[in-house]
Amino acid sequence: MSRGVAGGGRVAKLQDMHAPVSRAGFTLFEILIAILLIALLATLVVPKVFHVDDAKTVTGRSQIEMPGAALDTHRFNDRRYAPTALLPPPPPPPPPSADAPLAAAAQDETWGTIGVFNASGRSGAYYLPAGPRSQPTPLLVVLHGTGQSGQDFIPVFYELARARHFAIIAPDSRRSTTGLLTWEVGDQAGDVTPDLIHTMSCIEWVRTHTDLVVDDAHVLIAGYSGGGSSAPYIASNRPPFTHTAVLHGGVFPGGIGPRRMPGWFSTGEEDPYRPVALVKQSVDALVGLGFPAVNFRTYPGGHGLSSAEVSDLVTWWLGQ
């Protein structure tokens, strides 16, 4: 009898081994598996951040315009930019016929890539309106925002450049040590940054290789967002600039050079990155440094460039 009872006990124990186990804790192995799964899911979710602020990183005696995170790789194809920035690039001009004189072919509107490169292997883009190259032409040098390139800004000003007959030179910035495409700005008197040198080299290359004759009375350098502070820095330290403009950006007063010219500032009334009060401080800084006739305007909207803002800038520069 006792043997039968013992055998029945063993059967009951085996049945218990297959029954669900109820417990409150987790084993170390289960915790490690959970951590690995969470880490794997985190790599699949990349937040899309479009934050641009005034945080700067000091490198030597210069400043680098840096956003809080990398911008959209599609650059203008996000909601921070206005419709003017979404204009398609102009179609390429038709090739000249075999019997067309060479001089006539050279008078077509022209755009292309600049043939000098900075330390990051980037160059820039240019546009020349149709017409005789021997005729003095107003020149706009435009500096892109962080994460962008010069070719992004040719479509922004293209229609106005055709209508008002001015040339565009749009250099590329270098890539910073953190991997961002942004500009290095002088912060003390006499500072000469690689971006300044590259900008001047781009202008010289276009003048030399296209026979562009610049109207010395109308040379504007304008910078947008992260490129804004570079415009008055370069204009005040090097000729031939007659006007300077900061679009949704600021300045580093310490790097401003001895040259003076009329200035333009503009920003959006609801710009979260370059709010009106912050831009007004930059306006006051240039006025305090002796810049004449500094124009400050605000426009409806945020950090994007509106068609009215771009049009008003060109009218301020060239007149009615």
Structural domain of residue 206, as residue ranges?
A: 42-90+107-318
In a domain, 4, yes or no: no
Number of domains observed in the structure of the chain: 1
Instruction: Please indicate, yes or no, if residue 203 is contained in any of the structural domains.
Output: yes
> What would you report as the CA-atom Rg of the chain, rounded to the nearest whole angstrom?
29
Instruction: Check residue 188 and give its pLDDT.
Output: 93
Establish if 12 belongs to a structural domain: no
Alpha helices, H only, the chain: 2-17, 28-43, 102-105, 154-164, 194-210, 230-237, 276-288, 307-318
Q: Confirm whether 189 is domain-assigned.
A: yes
One-letter amino acid of 75: R
Asked if residue 3 belongs to a domain, the reply is: no
Question: Is 270 inside any structural domain?
Answer: yes
ω into residue 240 within 30 of 0, thus cis? Answer: yes
pLDDT of 94? 44
Residue 126 within a domain = yes
Residue 180 lies in a domain: yes
Q: How many CB atoms lie within 10 A of CB 2?
A: 6
Tens-place pLDDT, residues 94-122: 444 444 333 334 478 999 999 999 999 99
- CATH classification of the domain holding 277: 3.40.50.1820
pLDDT of amino acid 18: 43
Helix axes 230-237, 194-210, angle to 10 degrees: 70
Phi, psi dihedral angles at 157 (to 5 degrees): -105, 5
pLDDT under 50: residue ranges of the chain: 1-23, 42-62, 64-106
C-alpha 304/C-alpha 271 separation (Å) is 8
